[in-house]
Structure 1
Amino acid sequence: MDLNQIIERLELRTTRLTNFLPERKRLFFKQLEAKFQNRAILLHGPRGVGKTTFLLLMAKRHNLLYISGDDPLLLTVPLQDLLETILINYPGVIIDEIHFMPNWSAMLKFLYDSFPNKTIWISDSSSVLLRKSVDDLSRRFVLLKLPLMSLREYIHFEAGIDLEVLDSPFENLAEYTSEILRQVDILNFFKDYREKGTRPFYIEGNFKEKLLNTLEKTIYYDITHLLNVVHENHFGVMKAIISHLAYSKIQTFNVESMCRQWAIGKPKLYELLHAMEESGVINIAYKDKIEKPYSKGAKIFFADPALYYALEGEIGNFREAFTIFALKERGKILASKNEEEADFIFEGAKVVKLEIWGKNKRSKSSDFVVRDDIDLPIRNTIPLWTLGMLW
C-alpha cells in the first residue's frame, strides 16, 4: 500500500469519525477553541475527558487531517514520509495520543522546522512528555489542558442549560447561588454528578466500569511512557497506592513502610507518585510552594473524585478531593502546615485559608469553610457544589 492509499484511508476514517460526533458537547470546548491560535499546540488531559472529540471538531473546522497515534496503518509505511506528504497536501495535521508514535519528538521538530506555514496539533494524556523532550520543541509548542468535566457542564449535558460561570467562590457568592437555585435543583444534580458525571462518556452508561477501565489503561499504558524503567512490582506499588487512597480515612501514607513492603527505594516511589500525578490519577497537595524531591506530610487524593464512588471507598474523602480538583484549575492549592488553622491554603487572586467541613470536625480559624450539606452560603461558609461551577 503506497502513501496516497494510506492517506485516502486516513481521510475516510476522519470523515467517518466526524460524521458521528455527539450532538451535545462540553461547554469548555468554546473556551479551549478560543486559545487554539498557535500553529503548534499540545492538548493534554486525562483519558476520557473529550480530547479526541474536540480534536475531531477542530479537524473538521480547519480542514486538517486527524490521525490516531496508535493506528496500525501508520506502521505500514515510513512515518516521516507519510507526515511530510500530508503536510504538503493539507493545511496541517492533528495527531492524537502522540506518545504511541516512535521517535515522535525528533520527528515533530523536523516537521515544525520544515513546514513553517503548516499547523501541527497533537494530544497526549500528560504534558510531561513534551517538557522532557528537546528544549526547542517544548518551547515551540503551546501547552493547553482539557480538565475533567465540571458540575456546570454536567448540568448542560443533562438539562441543556448553559449556566453562568462562577468567577470566584470567595466573592459575591450569595447573588450567584440564589440565581442558580432559581434555575435548577442544584443539590440533586450535584448528587448525581459526584457519582458519575466527571467524564462525558457517562452518557453511554456503565460509568463505573468505564472509569475503572480508564484507570487501568492509564496505569498500564500511559504511565509507562513517563518512567525510565518500569518493572512488574511497580504496578503493584501503584495499585497499593490506589487501594490506600480509596479505603483509608487518612490521605497520607508511610513512605518507609511501603518501600520495605515492595522492595523499592524512595526515589522510585516518588517517581511513581509523580507519574501518577502527571497522568491524572492523583492530586498531591504539598505543604511547600517549592516541591522537594521527598515531600513529607503531603496529602494525596484521587484526581477524579468520582473514583471514591466507583471503588466504593471512603466517600468522606470526596470533599477534599473535589476541592483540590476544582481549585487547582484556578491557582495553587497547598496542604496547610498548621492543621489547627486550616486544611488547605489556596493561592489564586488572593490567598485564603480553607477548612473542609465534615462530620465530627471542630471549627478552625480558616477564612472560609467548605461544606457539602448546604445549598446557599452562610457568612464565610461556602457550599461545596459552587466549586463545580468554575468552568
Structure 2
Amino acid sequence: MRDILNRVLENCELTFERLRLSLPDKKRPFYEKLNIDNTRGALVYGQRGVGKTTFLLDKIRNKNFLYFSADNPLISSLPLYDFVQEIFKKGYEGIVIDEIHHSNSWSLNVKALFDDYPDKYIWISDSSNLMLKKSVADLSRRFVQYRIPMLSFREYVYLVTGRLTEKIDIFNFQKSFLSDISELNILKLFNDYLNFGIRPIFFEGEYCSRLKNLIEKSLYSDIPFYVKSIQDSHLRLMNAIIGHLLISPVPTINVSGMCSEWGIGKEKLYDILYVMEHSELINIVRKKNKHNYSKGSKIFLSDPSCYHCFRGDIGNVREAFFVLSMKELYELYASDDEKECDYIVNNKKFEIGGRNKKRKNAEYIVSDDLDIPLGNRLPLWMAGFQY
C-alpha cells in the first residue's frame, strides 16, 4: 500500500507543478480580502468556475504545500487519512484538497487529520454550501469558511482592460470615480460581461459551452452527493425549473401548476427550491419577513449569463444581475407593493428599468442603458462595482 501511496503522491507533485506554472498573471481582486494565509483549517467554497482553485494555487505557490483534487480517480480509491499522512511524512507543511466531497467520509477524515497534526495546515474546497450544512457540525469549531462569489463587473473590467478602480458605495458615491472609467466603453464592456463574463472561465474561451457543462455538473453530479435522498425525477424537475426560468418573462414559478404537472406536494417542491438556492443555481428574492418561498417572491438564475448562453428571455437579465450584485452585500427583498417599487435594499426603494422608466415611489431608478448617474437615476453597471 505504501508503494501505491508514494506513486500517487509523485503524480500529485507533478500535477501541482504543472498547475503552478500555468497560473494566470492577473488574479481576481476579490482574492485580496480572503485572509487565509495564517488559517490552519480553511474551507473555501463557491460555485463551479468562480476561481476557487486558482485562488488556492496562487496562495500556496511559494509555500511548502501540496495540492490535489479528490475527484482524481487515483486518489478517490485511496483512504484519505492514509494518503495525507504520507504527504506529511514527506515534510510538507500543509495540503490543499480540492473537490473534497468526492472523498469517502471526508469530514471525519479531515477532522481527524486536523486534530492529529496540530502543526499542519489543511485547506479544503468545494462547490456548495449544502456540503457545509451536512458536515459543518464536525468542522465548524476547527475550520474557517471562505466563500468566493461570482465575478463582479469591477473585477471583469480589471481582468479585461487592466484598469482597477476603487469600489463604489452605491448609497454614497462621489462622481469623481467616473474619471477612472472615462476612457472605457463602459456599456460595451457591461454587455460583454453580462453575456460571457460572470465567471472567469471566459479566459479559456468557449464560454457558453463551459458554462453549460458547469451547470450540468452542479445539477447532476454535485447535488446527488449533497442530498442523498434525491431522486432522478427531482433532478429532472430542477432542470425543468431552470428551463422555465430561462424562457418565462415573469421571474417566478406557478407552484400549484408545477406540483400538479410533476405529481409532488408543495413541501417537496419547496425542498427542491431550497436545494437549488443553496447550490447557488437560483436566487430567490422574498418579501420581507417571509422566510419560505411565497407568492410574490422572485426567482432568477443566479448566473445572469445563463440567459444569453441558453438563449433564454433576456428581459430578466438586468434584474438577475441587480439581485446577484446587491444580495452579495445587503439585505434585499421583493417589494410588497410593485406599484411602489421593485426591490427594497438596505431599507431603500429601487426600481429597475430602462432610461424612460417611471419613478413610481422609488428612491432610486436603476437603468441598464445609462452610462453615467443622473440625479436619482443610476446606471445598472454601477451595482457591479461594489466589490
Is TM > 0.5 for Structure 1 vs Structure 2?
yes
Q: The residue matched to 1:9 in structure 2 has which SS?
A: helix
Task: Work out whether residues 173 and 377 of structure 1, in 8 Å CA contact, stay in contact via their aligned partners in 2.
Answer: no
**Structure 1 unaligned blocks of 5 or more:** none
CA gap 1:35/1:270 in 2 versus in 1, 3 angstroms: same
Identify the residue that residue 322 of structure 2 maps to in structure 1. Answer: 323
Post-superposition CA distance 1:289-347 (Å, at most 9, x none): 4623x533211001111111111111111111111100111122111112221211113
Identify the residue that residue 377 of structure 1 maps to in structure 2. Answer: 373
C-alpha distance in structure 2 between counterparts of 1:13 and 1:148, whole Å: 26
C-alpha distance in structure 2 between counterparts of 1:289 and 1:183, whole Å: 44
Task: Work out whether residues 36 and 42 of structure 2, in 8 Å CA contact, stay in contact via their aligned partners in 1.
Answer: no
Normalising by the residue count of structure 2, what TM-score does the alignment of the two structures yield? Answer: 0.94
Matches within 5 A, 1:290-329: 291-292=291-292, 294-329=293-328
CA gap 1:290/1:129 in 2 versus in 1, 3 angstroms: farther
Asked if 1:104 is matched to 2:90, the reply is no
Corresponding residue to 1:19 among 7, 18, 21: 21
Corresponding residue to 2:153 among 151, 154, 160: 151
Identify the residue that residue 235 of structure 2 maps to in structure 1. Answer: 235
Q: The residue matched to 2:62 in structure 1 has which SS?
A: helix
Post-superposition CA distance 1:234-260 (Å, at most 9, x none): 122111111111111111111121111
CA gap 1:134/1:165 in 2 versus in 1, 3 angstroms: closer
CA gap 1:261/1:36 in 2 versus in 1, 3 angstroms: farther
Identify the residue that residue 49 of structure 1 maps to in structure 2. Answer: 50
**Aligned partner of 1:376: which letter?**
I
| Stretch moving more, 35-44 or 321-330 | 35-44
C-alpha distance in structure 2 between counterparts of 1:46 and 1:210, whole Å: 13
Post-superposition CA distance 1:11-65 (Å, at most 9, x none): 1111111111122222222222x34432111111111111111111122232211
C-alpha distance in structure 2 between counterparts of 1:76 and 1:195, whole Å: 39
Identify the residue that residue 78 of structure 1 maps to in structure 2. Answer: 79
CA gap 1:75/1:188 in 2 versus in 1, 3 angstroms: closer
Task: Work out whether residues 96 and 123 of structure 1, in 8 Å CA contact, stay in contact via their aligned partners in 2.
Answer: yes
C-alpha distance in structure 2 between counterparts of 1:49 and 1:79, whole Å: 26
Q: The residue matched to 1:189 in structure 2 has which SS?
A: helix
**Aligned partner of 2:140: which letter?**
S
Matches within 5 A, 1:208-223: 208-223=208-223
Task: Work out whether residues 134 and 226 of structure 2, in 8 Å CA contact, stay in contact via their aligned partners in 1.
Answer: no
C-alpha distance in structure 2 between counterparts of 1:309 and 1:75, whole Å: 36
Give percent identity, aligned residues only.
Answer: 43
Matches within 5 A, 1:128-147: 128-133=130-135, 135-147=137-149
**Aligned partner of 2:201: which letter?**
F
CA gap 1:211/1:77 in 2 versus in 1, 3 angstroms: closer
Matches within 5 A, 1:275-290: 275-289=275-289
CA displacement at 1:362 relative to structure 2: 3.9
CA displacement at 1:361 relative to structure 2: 5.2
Post-superposition CA distance 1:115-162 (Å, at most 9, x none): 122111111111231232252412321111111111122222221222
**Aligned partner of 1:323: which letter?**
F
Task: Work out whether residues 289 and 334 of structure 1, in 8 Å CA contact, stay in contact via their aligned partners in 2.
Answer: no
**Aligned partner of 1:381: which letter?**
R
CA displacement at 1:105 relative to structure 2: 1.1
C-alpha distance in structure 2 between counterparts of 1:375 and 1:390, whole Å: 16
**Aligned partner of 2:294: which letter?**
S
**Aligned partner of 1:365: which letter?**
N
CA displacement at 1:264 relative to structure 2: 1.8
CA gap 1:42/1:290 in 2 versus in 1, 3 angstroms: farther
**Aligned partner of 1:322: which letter?**
F
The alignment's C-alpha RMSD in Å is: 1.8
Matches within 5 A, 1:33-72: 34-72=35-73
**Aligned partner of 2:44: which letter?**
L
Q: The residue matched to 1:2 in structure 2 has which SS?
A: helix
C-alpha distance in structure 2 between counterparts of 1:75 and 1:217, whole Å: 18
Q: The residue matched to 2:122 in structure 1 has which SS?
A: strand
| Stretch moving more, 88-97 or 178-187 | 178-187
Identify the residue that residue 253 of structure 2 maps to in structure 1. Answer: 253
C-alpha distance in structure 1 between counterparts of 2:77 and 2:353, whole Å: 57
Normalising by the residue count of structure 1, what TM-score does the alignment of the two structures yield? Answer: 0.93
| Stretch moving more, 323-332 or 353-362 | 353-362
